[in-house]
């Protein structure tokens, strides 16, 4: 069966103004999200994962940053050029996002119930208040919150971190979006709650055929939850593959570096990206060629001069590297 592509991001370039000049936080990133699948996006802190997600939501901080190039095709429309009013209709209703820190998404001065109902009011204004309330309570129950009626009356600060995360998931899923973007949704939580939240996202995703972009720096989370993976390095994509291929046949020296110090993914669900010798280059001072050249064990002259183009090395498997053979 051919997979249906629900979101097709291509040639994405994002710039930031900084005190030292303009930097390109994301450089020519492409990826496709398949219907009903989970795409993992992994890479060290600062490699451009969140910024990529925010660009799809059209929530990049203004005026310091902007999309300077590229497209994100959703339902035959380019999200990046949509009038902002059309984007309001898509955001939340068709594409929603959950953040690492729920307090950024929750309003501290309104009860959970009020915030949930507001979502239905925005997107399903034809419902009566009672119908909205019933739908909201049901959704809160669905994300595994005990005593939903009671929680609806509470304020965000009265809930634990795990409960707040669940509330944010309930809010993100209230409109049954086609796409959920989950940016490090469990990083701030303890391991047990983490596993619960991930399995919750997965079970809701399976039931509704939703597509998910799961952003994480935790390769264990990728291995256990994703169908496809994109590995980012310093604003570019280093490697992409289906999840089993990536862990069985990692090809890019960066991916290999990330994986070698992990003893066993199966036994070790909570594996943080290990450190690779050296540092990610500053965006202000990027090498002319491959961005990984300064840390790469295979580096040759060409790597210092020419940016490696992504090339296919197998079914649905690509790398951006001059040196590695297929």
Applying CB under 6 A, which residues contact ligand ADP?
16, 18, 23, 25, 43, 45-51, 61, 64, 283
Q: Give the residue with the Cβ less far from Mg ion, 117 or 180.
A: 180
Please identify which residue in 24, 25, 39, 50 interacts with Mg ion, judged by CB under 5 A.
50
Stretch that binds Mg ion, among 42-50, 136-144, 234-242, 291-299 (CB under 5 A): 42-50
Q: Which is nearer to Mg ion, 49 or 94 (CB)?
A: 49
Q: Which is nearer to ligand ADP, 25 or 246 (CB)?
A: 25
Taking CB positions, which residue lies at the least distance from Mg ion?
50
* Smallest separation, CB 116 to Mg ion (Å): 26
Q: How far is the CB of 63 from ligand ADP (least distance, A)?
A: 11
Under the binding rule (CB under 5 A), the answer on residue 65 touching Mg ion is no
Q: Looking at beta carbons only, is 41 or 112 nearer to ligand ADP? A: 41
Residues 286-305 that bind Mg ion (CB under 5 A): none
What does the block give as tokens for 280? 């990610």
Q: Which does 94 bind (CB under 5 to 8 A by kind): ligand ADP, Mg ion, none?
A: none
Query: Toward Mg ion, which CB reaches closer, 42 or 296?
Result: 42
Whether the CA torsion 288, 291, 294, 299 is positive or negative: it is: negative
Task: Output the smallest distance, CB 183 to Mg ion, in A.
Answer: 6
Q: By the 8 A CB rule, do 175 and 92 touch?
A: yes
Q: How far is the CB of 155 from Mg ion (least distance, A)?
A: 27
Distance between CA atoms of residues 230 and 30, nearest Å: 9
Choose among ligand ADP, Mg ion, none what residue 124 binds, the Cβ cut-off being 5 to 8 Å by kind: none
Q: Return the number of the residue (116 or 238) whose C-beta is nearest Mg ion.
A: 238
Kindly list the residues in this chain that would bind Mg ion in the complex (CB under 5 A): 49-50
């Amino acid at each position: 069966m051919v997979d249906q592509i629900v979101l097709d991001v291509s040639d994405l370039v994002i710039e930031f103004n900084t005190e030292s000049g303009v930097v390109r936080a994301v450089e020519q990133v492409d990826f496709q999200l398949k219907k009903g699948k989970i795409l993992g996006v992994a890479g060290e802190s600062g490699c451009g994962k969140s910024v990529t997600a925010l660009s799809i939501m059209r929530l990049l901080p203004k005026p310091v940053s902007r999309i300077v190039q590229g497209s994100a095709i959703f339902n035959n429309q380019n999200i990046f050029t949509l009038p902002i009013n059309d984007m309001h209709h898509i955001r939340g209703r068709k594409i929603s996002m959950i953040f690492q820190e729920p307090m950024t998404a929750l309003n501290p001065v309104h009860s959970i119930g009020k915030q949930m109902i507001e979502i239905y009011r925005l997107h399903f204004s034809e419902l009566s208040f009672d119908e909205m309330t019933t739908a909201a309570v049901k959704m809160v129950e669905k994300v595994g919150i005990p005593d939903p009626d009671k929680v609806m009356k509470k304020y965000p600060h009265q809930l634990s971190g795990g409960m707040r995360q669940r509330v944010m998931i309930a809010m993100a899923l209230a409109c049954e979006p086609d796409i959920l973007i989950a940016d490090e949704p469990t990083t701030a939580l303890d391991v047990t709650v983490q596993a619960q939240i991930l399995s919750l996202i997965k079970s809701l995703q399976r039931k509704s055929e939703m597509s998910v972009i799961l952003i994480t720096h935790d390769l264990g989370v990728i291995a256990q939850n994703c169908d496809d993976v994109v590995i980012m390095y310093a604003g570019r994509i280093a490697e992409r593959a289906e999840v089993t291929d990536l862990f069985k046949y990692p090809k890019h020296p960066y991916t290999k570096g990330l994986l070698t110090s992990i003893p066993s993914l199966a036994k070790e669900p909570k594996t943080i990206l290990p450190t690779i010798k050296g540092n990610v280059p500053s965006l202000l001072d990027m090498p002319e060629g491959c961005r990984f050249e300064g840390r790469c064990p295979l580096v040759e002259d060409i790597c210092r001069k020419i940016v490696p183009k992504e090339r296919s090395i197998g079914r649905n498997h690509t790398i951006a590297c001059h040196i590695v053979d297929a």
